[in-house]
Amino acid sequence: MLKNIVLFFVLAPYVFVFSQTGKNLPVAPKANGAGGAQSQASGEMLGREFLLPPDALHLPGEESMDKQVEVGREYEAVFSQPSWVAPSPSLNSLALAQASNNNVAITAHNGRLFMAWRTGPIHFASKKTVMQVVSSADGGRNWELEHSIAIGRDIREPFFLTVGGKLIFYYMEAGQSASAFEPRGTKAIVYAGPGQWSQPVSIGAPGEIIWEMKVRNGKAWATSYKGNHYAWAEQSRIELYFKESTDGLNWENVDSSQPFVYQGGVSEAAFEFARDGSLWAVTRNEDGDATGWGSHVATAQPGAPGRWDFPQTSDPDRYDSPRMFRHGDEIYMIARRDIGGPFDRGGRNLPFWLQRARNMLGYSWRAKRTALYKIDRKTKSVALIADLPSAGDTAFPSIMRLGPHDFLIANYTSPLDRPNSSWIRGQISSMGTSIYFIRLTFRPKVKS
């Protein structure tokens, strides 16, 4: 009885949010000038630094570019100004963007810049959601519609992967309810030419969600998860998988002797290989388990990438939507930062379900940023470097390498002129969210 009463008061704000979706909720005023995403997105084309010539998109492989980074040299991270993409004048003529533009993916293929993103009336699940796929031959100055996916249910988690010269696009099919997490599974379609794609095929088991994918060491790798995510009244037993593939369509566990690499409260997990062949991963332990709540820095030894080693205790900080990448000797991550955290508020004397409810409620009502982090491999910890332009509802980064020291990042955010707006307010605001590109450059540090 007590559990039901407490859960009612904990969940009441969320019930109110979902019941008010589409009504005239109080929202932040529109930005004036260059301070907000709304005004920038509706009035500016891509900045000149992103008008990439076609030859800039005939890119060598990630690993060949990384080999050009000098070993042992120290670098500093420098960001350009953001350039707003969706909505933007170059896309508005296609009438593709709704109010909420968030989950985004970018890649280069055959000299074209591809972008896919989720657009819908709200952040939460909706039957009006559309996954738009566009491409550009001039680095983003002009876009052409490649595909629109609308299934009468929510669609999320876009990802591009090129395997054996073949471009594959992945996405998750979900439900219609704004107040429920209803993953149906992951689908994949193969690019056959301008505006032409194969019929979708299922990837993984029903309900399985692919989180991060990349091609390394001659094969494709992916993390995915499946289980009772967001089980409020019981402990979660989410299974985290690490898989490999030679064609991007048929996947198997990296270590066939293990059904999963982790079971508990972990869902999203980013990963990258170091130069010595070891694997590094950062998990989001949102649901909580015997290790606590927050995140893990997991590792695997060279030659055994399927055998992950986890710490006994979670880092109390939570990193949503994590993506990892390598620059020379260092491994970096871009993810959501929780202003005023940590996520895990302690209270081990409380029932498990009550700890979870308190952590989740506090997290939703705090401000957020998208941030760049570095993985400290000596201490197996995450170190903050800098925030990207971001506020409110933000963080689903997609990272595309342009050269040895340059990366193009796509991300989404609420308008920037309300930096103290909470995550949940950003999600329900009629101001919506916009997508931008930003360039990250690693410059050699000057010795003083």
- Residue 269 is predicted with a pLDDT of 99
- Residue 234 is predicted with a pLDDT of 82
**Domain range spanning residue 256?**
2-26+48-444
pLDDT bracket for residue 16 (50, 70, 90): very low
Asked, for residue 223, whether it belongs to a domain, the answer is yes
pLDDT bracket for residue 441 (50, 70, 90): very high
CATH of the domain at 18: 2.120.10.10
Asked, for residue 424, whether it belongs to a domain, the answer is yes
Burial of 199 per CB tally in 10 Å (0-12, 13-18, 19+): exposed
pLDDT bracket for residue 233 (50, 70, 90): confident
**How far is it, in rounded angstroms, from Cα 381 to Cα 375?**
6
- Residue 46 is predicted with a pLDDT of 53
- Residue 194 is predicted with a pLDDT of 96
6 vs 226, higher pLDDT: 226
pLDDT bracket for residue 141 (50, 70, 90): confident
pLDDT tens column, 73-83: 999 999 999 99
How many Cα atoms sit within 13 Å of 436 on the Cβ side?
32
Asked, for residue 42, whether it belongs to a domain, the answer is no
Mean pLDDT in residue range 179-202: 96
Strand pairing category for 219-226 and 209-216: antiparallel
Residues shown for the chain: 448
- Residue 33 is predicted with a pLDDT of 29
Return the ∠ at Cα 76 (arms to 72 and 78), rounded to 5°.
145
| Torsion angle of the four alpha carbons 145, 147, 150, 155, in this order, in degrees rounded to the nearest 10 | -100
Asked, for residue 37, whether it belongs to a domain, the answer is no
- Please check whether residue 154 is in contact with residue 128, taking contact to mean a CB–CB distance below 8 angstroms: no
Count of structural domains, the chain: 1
Asked, for residue 82, whether it belongs to a domain, the answer is yes
Which residue reads 């993810």 in tokens? Answer: 335
356 CB-near residues (< 8 Å, 6+ apart): 232, 287, 288, 293
Mean pLDDT in residue range 34-62: 54
**How far is it, in rounded angstroms, from Cα 149 to Cα 314?**
38
Q: What is the mean pLDDT of the chain?
A: 89
Mean pLDDT in residue range 405-415: 97
The beta-strand segments (E) located in 164-258 are 166-173, 185-193, 196-197, 201-203, 209-216, 219-226, 238-245, 252-253
Asked, for residue 222, whether it belongs to a domain, the answer is yes
Per-position DSSP letters for 15-26, written without gaps between them: HHHHHTTTS---
Return the ∠ at Cα 18 (arms to 364 and 35), rounded to 5°.
55
pLDDT tens column, 323-333: 999 999 999 99
For residue 6, pLDDT over 80 is answered with no
Asked, for residue 93, whether it belongs to a domain, the answer is yes
- Residue 374 is predicted with a pLDDT of 99
Asked, for residue 31, whether it belongs to a domain, the answer is no
For residue 41, pLDDT over 60 is answered with no
Between 15-24, 221-230, 274-283, the lowest mean confidence (pLDDT) is in 15-24
- Residue 40 is predicted with a pLDDT of 38
% of the chain with per-residue pLDDT over 70: 87
% of the chain with per-residue pLDDT over 90: 80
Which residue reads 């004397």 in tokens? Answer: 349
